[in-house]
Structure 1
């Protein structure tokens, strides 16, 4: 739509207000956006990058002749033999393909209250322990592996405790406002759409910087908005879910708790995976959550499976939550269920949207490129601001001389 006359003047005056908001949000939070973007782009392919950096630990050679995995109970048992007695099995990552190792996470408490996080790697065909890595200690400032460092920088800015979730969640919310105000400022009021959507050839350095900022901002907006919102949801679910429940009921799988039973031991993680497999025989397990932290006694088992091909949902990922003592299923996170609410379908989409995995390799590449656009937006935005500030200073100097 093209505007003229008085209406055009009114809209330009209003856009000046939004430009000021966009400018200051960009200057204050643009560096954080660049951090989120670069680290997010790395994490889109974190498994592939980690395997490339540590092939002897994370990759295996599948034997010929249609070899299959050894029993899960044996894989978990051999992994436990690589850590001190009393180590808690907190998490497991199922191999993402036939040439990847099992990743088993353990929490080890040592004398003096120090806690260590270890990751053990097992060849599922031979039951050979490929090695282990110390991921982090309770007295270390940073994770001890590259991907671990990137993960913590991305979701917590390397800040310990609940303060990190507040800072990350609030900054992401303000960045959503920055993106929306950028779209308002970008909107071509005079109807010159081609000029708004393209970079001018053979332009000056200042014009090239401006075009790069506005085009990178426009083309990344469609991906950036859901990625930022899903980030808020994942770090501040206790704040987001109640808002969603105003519109539709939501069950959040991390809020379920096991009921300790006197004299009864927890079922094994392998048994939890087997029970999830009874509900969903198809697909490949991916993440398996065990017991950890202050809620160890009441923690649940959560088994997430990928490639669960079934009618009723584009997404092929489901998560089954069960009581760690009785094995009773407490929740099934599956948008294809007949009783799944709109709120549950919406929340189920947040991780696939954030990682790009909801749309396969195409989605991952789009999220990857959008992440790389973030530092471009920050740098070109700062340069644009410096250009305008210098121009204002020159005008003031010339007016003073006159």
Structure 2
């Protein structure tokens, strides 16, 4: 088969050049699959809340508490605590006295609206407050911004291509194909190392292939959208197309906006103020959700409190359905605990594939050198 040497050449050099980067992405991916648990473990002062019976504090009081502690802070996303032992998480920007702004995250107790603490978003630091975000940044853009996103996207695309080109290498012939899923050879032999490399890759091939594909779509959302639109329409979040106007002079509070949408605050995932279009976007949980993000967006007029529009991320087209699954699958949240465990296992296997691939290359290189 003439193409087999070309496939082997690709697989070898993709592994040599991209293996170390894949190992880094796999390590960080395994960690951030458990982002909330890791953040809570490292930063109980920020993430843990006292469990108190009775009604929780109003969200307006929560925001006011953060603004009192951080003068000049304006939240653009208020994520409500989904567990009684967790704090509310407010993301936004703080304008400091010298006129510059910085992205910050504030944490507030749900029961008392007491300010728990804050941290700077995107800080490159090994301090425990910043370590979860550091790992997240390494995974998404290698901490270098747009160039890093492009690199991660291209690496994911090459990895996806490698998934298909490596199959003919794993199955040189259909007869006896099942043996590719087994490990033979004596301990420490090159044969055993190769069998383990091949078998571990084959067993998790569907999962790692999914991670490669979703890595491409998450890194290149606009380009992916253009590709998908050749097959099915893709709709935007509604506020993207709304006409901008000045912020309202006397807006209703966040609690009033939530009350316009639901009487059960436990159904609310988050609230996003959009003063540029005069609306609050209240995100709530819905039966159409495919993860834990609260995918139903309800837009509430900041002045009147009336609902003006509503859209679920699943949309009405196959293209919308495709995109709602991308983050859910990549993070593992699509299937709850089992999904995150499977994504973590795939990450560990990817680490092993990278290390064993380098070992195979080095051992074969040494064997060729000794033969000469």
User: If the length of structure 1 is used for normalisation, what is the TM-score?
Assistant: 0.81
2:137 corresponds to 1:159: no
Partners of 1:274 and 1:375 in 2: CA distance: 48
Preserved CA contact (<8 Å) 2:27 2:351:
yes
Change (3 A) 1:22 1:115: same
Highest RCO, 1 vs 2 (Cα 8 Å, sep ≥ 6): 1
Partners of 2:348 and 2:279 in 1: CA distance: 37
**5+ long unaligned stretches in structure 2:** none
The one of 39, 49, 65 equivalent to 1:78 is 65
Shift, 1:282, TM fit: 8.8
Preserved CA contact (<8 Å) 2:278 2:301:
yes
Preserved CA contact (<8 Å) 1:87 1:106:
yes
Give the match's secondary structure for 1:256.
Answer: helix
Change (3 A) 1:301 1:233: farther
Preserved CA contact (<8 Å) 1:300 1:321:
no
The one of 193, 197, 200 equivalent to 2:181 is 197
The one of 119, 123, 130 equivalent to 1:145 is 130
1:3-402 aligned within 5 A: 10=1, 13-64=2-53, 67-84=54-71, 86-110=72-96, 114-136=100-122, 145-160=130-145, 162-189=146-173, 191-200=175-184, 202-253=186-237, 256-262=240-246, 264-265=248-249, 269-277=254-262, 284-290=267-273, 297=276, 302-306=281-285, 308-309=286-287, 317-320=294-297, 322=299, 329=308, 332-335=311-314, 340-395=316-371, 397=372
Change (3 A) 1:21 1:237: same
Change (3 A) 1:192 1:112: farther
With 47-56 and 110-119 compared, the bigger mean Cα shift is at 110-119
Change (3 A) 1:166 1:378: same
- CA deviations 1:290-343 (Å, max 9, x no partner) are 46xxxx84697544434x236xx76674231647757765561343x6xx1111
Shift, 1:122, TM fit: 1.2
Shift, 1:157, TM fit: 0.6
Shift, 1:385, TM fit: 1.2
Shift, 1:109, TM fit: 2.9
**5+ long unaligned stretches in structure 1:** 1-9, 398-402
Preserved CA contact (<8 Å) 2:290 2:324:
no
Preserved CA contact (<8 Å) 1:258 1:325:
no
Shift, 1:209, TM fit: 2.0
Change (3 A) 1:380 1:190: same
Shift, 1:262, TM fit: 4.5
CA RMSD of aligned residues (A): 3.0
Preserved CA contact (<8 Å) 1:283 1:309:
no
User: If the length of structure 2 is used for normalisation, what is the TM-score?
Assistant: 0.87
With 343-352 and 317-326 compared, the bigger mean Cα shift is at 317-326
Preserved CA contact (<8 Å) 2:239 2:277:
no
Preserved CA contact (<8 Å) 2:245 2:278:
no
Change (3 A) 1:76 1:236: same
Partners of 2:131 and 2:149 in 1: CA distance: 21
Partners of 2:58 and 2:254 in 1: CA distance: 12
Partners of 1:346 and 1:131 in 2: CA distance: 38
Partners of 1:243 and 1:290 in 2: CA distance: 32
